[in-house]
Amino acid sequence: MPAARTLRHATVFCAVAAAFAVSYMMLSEVLGSGSPWLGLLLMFYFMGLARAGEPLYVLRVPGFLREVAGWETRGPAYRRLGVQGFGRLLRETPLRFLNTSVYRGNQDLQSLYRQASSAEAIHFWAAVLFTPYMVVVFVRGHAGAALCFLVVQVLFNLYPILHLRLLRARLDALRRRRGF
């Protein structure tokens, strides 16, 4: 990547990080520095920073989890969990604008695959980092907040991960047919 582009991407990343930091400080004043809700905010900030930093560094799912297993695509588990319905909800509502890069549009198959893999990794690492925090919130006696966080974890991380794994499986099949 040319130095000017790298500098531009680094500047955007730093600007987003600075905006998040200022926002965090202002919200911690309003909510109180001990509020469990600040942890949820940090999860969303992590996701935003990871997305803003993609041109500089792309997160990856650990190697042992990268390959989509046959049971994920052929078995009844994803159907019973409603993952395809979740995908339709994302595609057919304004929610599609949360991450337009995972839709085909004019991009080539390889770019689409990279975008889907990156989005899956962002959700994966957000879930991994947020889960211990949810436990701490519960242990500290904030069961209501922990329950809300569990719902957020399922809707904002788990289902997107499952949906993106199905997308990658379809893209893998397409790539094999096209000789990639």
Predicted confidence (pLDDT) per residue in 139-160, tens digit = 999 999 999 999 999 999 999 9
Q: HEC states along the chain?
A: CCHHHHHHHHHHHHHHHHHHHHHHHHHHHHHCCCCCHHHHHHHHHHHHHHHHCCCCCCCCCCHHHHCCCHHHHHCCHHHHHCHHHHHHHHHHCHHHHHCHHHCCCCCCHHHHHHHHHHHHHHHHHHHHHHHHHHHHHHHCCCHHHHHHHHHHHHHHHHHHHHHHHHHHHHHHHHHHHHCC
Return mean pLDDT, the chain: 91
The predicted model scores a pTM of 0.89
pLDDT digits (tens, 9 = 90+) for 72-120: 888 899 999 999 899 889 888 888 887 776 665 656 888 888 999 999 9
